[in-house]
Structure 1
Amino acid sequence: MAVYTYAITFKDHPLRLDDLRGVGASPGPLRTVAAGALTAVVSDVSEELRPKRRDIGAHQDVQQRLMEDGAALPLRFGYTAPDDEAVRLALEERADDYAERLRQLDGCVEYNLKASQNEDMVLRQILSESPEAKQLNDDIRNGTADPEAALRLGELVAQEVRTRQEALASGVIEALRSFAQEIDPGEPSGEDFLSVSFLVSSEQDELFLATELSLAHQMGEGFDFRLHGPLPPYSFT
Structure 2
Amino acid sequence: MTLYVYAITGKEHPHRLDGLQGVGSHPAPVRTVTAGLLSAVISDVSEEIRPKRRDLQAHQEVQERLMADAVVLPLQFGYIAPDEQTVRQALEENPDAYLATLERLDGCAEYHARATQADEDELLRRILRDSPEARELNERIRSGAQDPQLPLALGELVAREVQERQDALATGLVHALAPYAREHATRPPSPPDFLNLSLLVPHERKDDLLAAQAGLTAQIDDGVDFRLTGPLPPYSFVQ
The reply to whether residue 153 of structure 1 matches residue 154 of structure 2 is yes
| Structure-1 residue corresponding to 2:127 | 126
| Structure-2 residue corresponding to 1:106 | 106
Task: Specify the SS of the correspondent of 2:8.
Answer: strand
Could you list the structure 1 runs, at least 4 aligned residues long, displaced by more than 6 angstroms after superposition. none
> Is the Cα contact below 8 Å between 2:19 and 2:29 reproduced in 1?
no
The reply to whether residue 53 of structure 1 matches residue 53 of structure 2 is yes
Deviations 1:136-169 (A, max 9, x none): 1111111235221111111111011001100000
Deviations 1:20-46 (A, max 9, x none): 111112122222122221110111100
> Is the Cα contact below 8 Å between 2:122 and 2:222 reproduced in 1?
no
Work out the CA distance in 1 between the residues paired with 2:48 and 2:105.
31
| Unaligned runs of at least 5 residues, structure 1 | none
| Structure-1 residue corresponding to 2:35 | 35
The amino acid across from 2:137 in the alignment is L
The amino acid across from 2:91 in the alignment is L
1:204: Cα distance to partner?
0.6
Structure 1, 129-138 or 184-193: larger mean CA deviation:
184-193
What percent of counterpart residues are identical?
57
Deviations 1:178-220 (A, max 9, x none): 1011112122222222121111111111100110111111115
Task: Specify the SS of the correspondent of 1:76.
Answer: coil
Work out the CA distance in 2 between the residues paired with 1:33 and 1:100.
19
Deviations 1:57-92 (A, max 9, x none): 111111111111110001111110111121112212
TM-score with structure 2 length normalisation? 0.95
| Structure-2 residue corresponding to 1:86 | 86
Task: Specify the SS of the correspondent of 1:203.
Answer: helix
TM-score with structure 1 length normalisation? 0.96
How many residues align structurally?
237
Work out the CA distance in 1 between the residues paired with 2:85 and 2:157.
59
| Structure-2 residue corresponding to 1:76 | 76
> Is the Cα contact below 8 Å between 1:4 and 1:81 reproduced in 2?
yes
The amino acid across from 2:226 in the alignment is F
| Unaligned runs of at least 5 residues, structure 2 | none
Work out the CA distance in 2 between the residues paired with 1:135 and 1:115.
30
> Is the Cα contact below 8 Å between 1:139 and 1:145 reproduced in 2?
no
| Structure-2 residue corresponding to 1:168 | 169
The reply to whether residue 44 of structure 1 matches residue 44 of structure 2 is yes
| Structure-2 residue corresponding to 1:224 | 225
Work out the CA distance in 1 between the residues paired with 2:150 and 2:191.
27
Work out the CA distance in 2 between the residues paired with 1:114 and 1:153.
28
Task: Specify the SS of the correspondent of 1:204.
Answer: helix
